[in-house]
Structure 1
Amino acid sequence: MVPKEGIAPIYNATYTLFRLSPLYVPGAKDFWLEDNLSFHARRFAESIQSDNLRPTNLVLEEAEETINKSGPFKQCRWHVLQQPGDDIEPVRSADDLGVLQGLQVNVEYERATYTALLLKGVESTEDANRDQVRLPLVCIRMPAALRSSFSYYMASAFDTRMEPLQLNGATLCETLESFLKECAEDEDSFEKTVKEIQLSLSFNKPIQPTLKSIDVAIKREDVAGFLAQGRIVSAAQTTSTKFIAGAFMSGLQKYLQVQIALNLNADQITVSKIACGAFALGREGKLKLFAPNVGLNDDGEYDDAAMASRRATGQLLQLLLQAAFGNT
């Protein structure tokens, strides 16, 4: 397995997450055909060039300098990230992770390109009804007005609804736990991928007028200790918690309880953001993924550390797909 060139579009950019209800598409199997996608690309391009939304006014809710940076409209492209059902190889192209199946929409201007990724996961998510296509998770990097235009087009063309994907604290913690567990299977991958871990804890009711949240940072060299302590705490746990049982959060919860008398299980405390060297994820639905580490063995194939990093990233996206799918 020889690495391919290029970086998947989901990496190294901040996306806003949305959930999308099933698309109504008569003869859904034809949705992925190039001619069909080109047709929708042309129609969407026409809609954003209409009198109501001229190129120079695309970013009505953004600063004036952002408008000027985009420049004249060039083209709109819709294309498949990965043909449904194809085998996936964990490479660094747009097809590098199994969960990166779906649709990519690019709106290109002279000096900027805006992107929407509509993801469907490894498993076929077409409904038993042949007139439906499921693309439950949408990752968007567009100005507000263009994003609104895209949402309107999807609703009018496919009778679907796009809504912000808000994540609760338990989902954020599960995502972090899953990522750490996968990386921990290879010590080299863990060292290269997991750096300082940062968590933002929000209070439903401010403890003090100016204290609405606190940030917790754990140095990379301390993460293994929290995991080890957490495994001991989890094994001895007899009462339920509001978080999915996991080694890292169990260790952190124990540490904060002892050191500063802060109980993460209190109803008024919520995990609102998590970040490490590989990704950042917020409760409001903001995601930034960094490209997994590349390591090659003597045969020119990805080494164990690189494969572990990719599996961890794939599992993270799969959990987000499940969160979106559960709400569509």
Structure 2
Amino acid sequence: MSALIQMRDIHVNFPVRNPDGGKMLTLRALDGVDLGITRSQCVGVVGESGCGKTTLAKVLMGLVEPNDGSVHVDGELLTERRSASSRRRLQMVFQDPGSSLNPRRRVRSALAELITYHDLVPASGLSAALRELMDMVGLPDRCLDVRPRDLSGGQRQRIAIARALAVQPDVIVADEAVSALDVSAQAKVVNLLSDLREQLGLTLVFISHDLGVVRALCDRVVVMYLGRVVEDAPTEQLFEDPQHPYTRALLAAVPDITTRREDAAARKPALDGEPASALAVGEGCRFRPRCPVAVSTCATEDPPLVGMRSHRAACVHAAAH
């Protein structure tokens, strides 16, 4: 099946001021990322803070222009100057709906502006379209006439999802879309995204730190480390048989509610140390300084993604599988 989204060899570098006063430094936020996503698929993107997840989302949305590489949607090359129709096809749901929604505007006004700008329904059908949006995200019609401050966090995030749906997109990129919510609101929003995907055939790119949510929602998981994809696999394969030592460490760090408190406190951390700086990525595998199974080859070789087409890992040990 051909990919709806195809990102090829994406590089994003950011100039950073040198604290010593010398020449500007280069932060390699994304370093040769390839990612293909098929229509109606839900792909989870995971990794520690600073691994490049949000930069990847911004490149996809056109909010960050890559230094090198290309983004295609349905075979169309997306350039820096995207048409209104190209922008409409990809919509983003941000982490904090409190800051992503205009606090001065009533919900009806914010949603109606999008529908009218893209000329999606005639003026006579606008009210019906707004009520349908409320129904799709499980909110009563009265929410159309309030401002975001009058809603709970979960309701605001539903409005943010309604705003994304208002322009009838093909793809929704959710960047930590449930991390600012309490547990019950998280579950409702995750269930909503799952239902919408099934009903509308949406393609979802779901960025999250919460591996439990990713496992429940996503078909496939992409693991990132310091600007590179280090593992890419169907969800259950990745959770049951992780091939990269970093993925294994992420899974080992997930709290186990069946473990006694004193046992959990005595458990050795899954990983030692912090990720290396993206300002100083050296030769070889960038995970090597923290890797429990590193060998001499890892100091000189930066392994590509290898393995079966459905499950690939960037590790010299994975190459043997």
Bin the TM-score by the shorter chain: under 0.3
TM (norm. structure 2) is 0.21
What TM-score do the two structures reach when normalised by structure 1? 0.21
